[in-house]
Copies of this chain bind each other. A is one copy, B any other.
Amino acid sequence: MSNNDYPDIRYLFEPRSVAVIGASRDPAKIGYKVVENIVVGGYKGRIYPINPGGGDIMGLPACKSVDSVDGEVDVACVVIPSHKVFSAVEGCARKRVKHVMVITSGFSEVGNGAEEKKIAAFARQSGMRIMGPNMFGLYSSSSSLNATFGPRDVRAGGVAIITQSGALGLAMIGKTSVENIGLSAICSVGNKSDLDEADLLEYLVPHDDTKVILMYIEGVRQGEKFIRALKKATRIKPVVVVKSGRSKRGAAAAASHTGSLAGADNVFDAIMRQCGALRAETVKEAFDWCSFMSNNALPDGQETVIITNGGGIGVMATDASEKYGVPLYDNMVTLKEIFSPVTPEFGSMKNPVDITGQAQSDHYDAALDAALNCEDIHAVVALYCETAVFDAEKLPAMVKNNYERFRNARKPILFSLFGGENTERCVTELSREQVPVYGDVYESVSPLGAMYAYRRHLAHYVEAVDTVALDVNAINAIIAGARNEERYFLLTNEAQEIMKIAHIPIPRTLIARSLNEAVNSSREIEYPVVMKVVSKDIIHKSDAGGVALDLENEKEVIDAYEAIMRSCKAHVPGAHIEGVEITEMVSAGTELIAGAKIDPSFGPIVMVGLGGIYVEVMKDVAFRAYPLNRSEVLSMIEQIRSYPLLLGVRGEKTKDISSLVDIILRLGSIVEQCRGISDIEINPVMVYDQGMGSKAVDVRILLSKDQ
């Protein structure tokens, strides 16, 4: 059944009527709380409390069952015990309810997955969509619907929250209200038996009232679907993500908590970056970002000036700007030109612009005017350290007026105010009015950094998908061969064959069955060459004296051939020796590692990192997921700390990065198109100077076991 057979998900957020199956007259019950919240929240549609006992609930007549409701039901909230849920869902199907929110818990999260699957499968057949089970309900500002058992008062506004933790979500309703962050929607996804985060994004992305989307994630299941939805979403509006389970132990705790597979955090992190989602570390940081971005339009550029009345905090703001990726405007000529009229003698016109401890309200006005009336400056971080000189009474007006003035010009000002009671009160009161004012320098820079990161994503994102045409059948034949032998790894020659099929350059190799052939092959491959014995009977070639490196001429090839034969025969008596393999001696280049694999959360992903023994120790790796294009691979390569090695250090030439991108795209395509492969790793891949290409020196391929 395709998605088109389902009712529009809009009815979930904007239902014309809501039934509460399990509505109760007992205020201690969730069945009461949900009805109360819907009624008190001012929902404009029809409300149908369902209770077998009938009677009145909150002044509304209760129906005995959903079937007996007189009128259509867009959404049914189910709050009855888990063993009764299936039969209620059957009733909903009969009534042709569009969406069922199963608030009830006691399903897969406590090991009762069978019942949950049964319900989801039944709903699917009946053309209904299920939210939950095990969720707290849903709030939607567009229909003034608070169908949750959480706090009664939800502040309406521009932030939509999708949370994987119900407990945290409920508390967020209260916390956002305290922090004056308005919500357009909030819901928990529960056990995701049917609808998941990606589905909810379908509604929220085109939803005008939603300015920013905040997601709290513990683990991702249908990663490929999620990536597609997220990429689409970030084209339209910012998505802020908080994912717990960053640490190893945290990931284990998350897995035991939600049953989600909390994958490697660095993979998750890289994919969020690829999708243009903004990852916040803490809920507090996420709230700050969402609040700021939901209230302020994107500026036209990201040249930022710090204006301060204290040197120390100016320096801290400079540090914070680097940390959060906020570029500081540094055209000294312009800075001097615009700030010299408004900066006192012992101040500084460099950025940070120091208007000194003598600055009063109108000095701030003048400096902010000077900065933001300049075309080349797009935002200001304004710092204030409490002084005796500044008239505290004027502080709130100074902050608010300047903010409002430039807000309409899409030139945000973020304030950091540091001081005693008056200052603190100003922070508290103005942040209640959604003015971006903070008590700490770092806190004031961080939301601007998030906004710029989003802006950069919009500017640099390339929509294309670069797929490589592959002879999939030829690769699958090799995989099938290994599988026939019940092998889940490929032999060197098999792996090399796949590289050839995928047009990934590997060292030239020939097999020689005699001394004469060895000499000819070496000449053909070009000196220097490496010689290795070929024999099924000899596993450890080096130990048997079966390897000779760096052979530079015919004489050395002849000597080596004879030495190898002698030594191997002595070492493994009776071994059948088929000949020797002559390989090009790979010249030194920049050693990287490149790979592609099937990630348990996200499906096919590619990887690049610093090669050799350093990959394990330095963990300097980056990832990207499918769908994938060249530009994303390039940004992955740029992300590794050792990227400067590819640009050339110590006067070395720039390396052939483009050939590396090409190899990675090919690796990814193999894994994406031939799903029998779980893992390809090239370590090392030698990257040579620009124009000289790259070479896959050592390739290891593993097959997936679950096929």
* A contact set with B: CB distance below 8 Å: 33, 110, 149-151, 163-168, 170-171, 173-175, 177-178, 216, 218, 244-250, 253-254, 256-258, 281-284, 309-316, 318-319, 321-323, 328, 346, 348, 350, 352, 354, 357, 385-388, 418-421, 423-424, 439-443, 610, 613-614, 616-618, 620, 641-642, 644-645, 649-650
Quote the shortest CB–CB distance from A260 to chain B (angstroms).
Answer: 10
Q: Known contacts being A167-B387, A254-B315, A318-B250, is A177 close to B641, with CB within 8 Å?
A: no
Number of copies: 2
23 residue pairs of the A-B complex, CB under 8 angstroms, read: A165-B312, A167-B312, A168-B385, A170-B388, A171-B387, A171-B418, A174-B419, A174-B421, A175-B418, A175-B420, A177-B420, A244-B315, A244-B318, A246-B319, A249-B318, A249-B322, A250-B318, A253-B350, A257-B354, A281-B442, A283-B418, A616-B649, A617-B641
Q: Known contacts being A167-B357, A258-B311, A387-B170, is A178 close to B424, with CB within 8 Å?
A: yes
Q: Known contacts being A250-B322, A420-B173, A650-B613, is A168 close to B244, with CB within 8 Å?
A: no
> Of all chain B residues, which has the CB nearest A312?
B165
Among A310, A420, A424, A645, which residue has the most Cβ atoms of chain B within 10 A?
Answer: A420
Q: Known contacts being A249-B328, A253-B315, A439-B284, is A644 close to B620, with CB within 8 Å?
A: no
Contact among B110, B318, B617 for A642, CB-based, below 8 A:
B617
B residues near A247, Cβ cutoff 8 Å: 318-319, 321-323
B residues near A442, Cβ cutoff 8 Å: 281-282, 284
Quote the shortest CB–CB distance from A345 to chain B (angstroms).
Answer: 9
A348 x B649 contact (CB < 8 A): no
- Given A163-B312, A168-B313, A249-B318, 15 more pairs with CB closer than 8 A: A110-B346, A150-B388, A164-B312, A167-B385, A170-B387, A173-B420, A178-B424, A244-B315, A245-B319, A249-B322, A256-B348, A281-B442, A284-B439, A614-B642, A618-B642
Quote the shortest CB–CB distance from A504 to chain B (angstroms).
Answer: 25
Cβ-closest 9 pairs across A and B: A174-B420, A165-B312, A167-B310, A257-B311, A247-B322, A244-B315, A250-B318, A250-B319, A168-B312
A283 x B617 contact (CB < 8 A): no
Q: Known contacts being A174-B420, A441-B283, is A318 close to B614, with CB within 8 Å?
A: no
Q: Known contacts being A282-B442, A418-B283, is A168 close to B310, with CB within 8 Å?
A: yes
B residues near A249, Cβ cutoff 8 Å: 318, 321-322, 328
CA distance A696 to B7 in the complex (A): 74
Contact among B171, B250, B321 for A316, CB-based, below 8 A:
B250
A316 x B167 contact (CB < 8 A): no
A310 x B171 contact (CB < 8 A): yes
CA distance A249 to B318 in the complex (A): 7
A322 x B248 contact (CB < 8 A): yes
CA distance A39 to B620 in the complex (A): 61
B residues near A440, Cβ cutoff 8 Å: 282-284
B residues near A618, Cβ cutoff 8 Å: 610, 618, 620, 641-642
B residues near A178, Cβ cutoff 8 Å: 420-421, 423-424
B residues near A424, Cβ cutoff 8 Å: 175, 178
Quote the shortest CB–CB distance from A612 to chain B (angstroms).
Answer: 10
CA distance A650 to B683 in the complex (A): 15
B310 x A386 contact (CB < 8 A): no
Q: Known contacts being A257-B354, A650-B613, is A311 close to B167, with CB within 8 Å?
A: yes
B residues near A312, Cβ cutoff 8 Å: 163-165, 167-168, 216, 218, 244, 257
Quote the shortest CB–CB distance from A168 to chain B (angstroms).
Answer: 4
Quote the shortest CB–CB distance from A641 to chain B (angstroms).
Answer: 6
A282 x B649 contact (CB < 8 A): no
A218 x B616 contact (CB < 8 A): no
CA distance A218 to B313 in the complex (A): 10
CA distance A163 to B315 in the complex (A): 14
CA distance A610 to B645 in the complex (A): 15
CA distance A247 to B317 in the complex (A): 10
CA distance A617 to B174 in the complex (A): 47
Q: Known contacts being A318-B247, A440-B282, A649-B613, is A352 close to B253, with CB within 8 Å?
A: yes
B168 x A253 contact (CB < 8 A): no
> Of all chain B residues, which has the CB nearest A177?
B420
Quote the shortest CB–CB distance from A606 to chain B (angstroms).
Answer: 22
Quote the shortest CB–CB distance from A278 to chain B (angstroms).
Answer: 17
B residues near A311, Cβ cutoff 8 Å: 165, 167, 218, 253-254, 257-258
> Of all chain B residues, which has the CB nearest A420?
B174
B residues near A170, Cβ cutoff 8 Å: 385-388
> Of all chain B residues, which has the CB nearest A590?
B613
Among A149, A177, A348, A613, which residue has the most Cβ atoms of chain B within 10 A?
Answer: A613
B residues near A315, Cβ cutoff 8 Å: 218, 244-245, 250, 253-254, 257
B residues near A253, Cβ cutoff 8 Å: 311, 314-315, 318, 350, 352
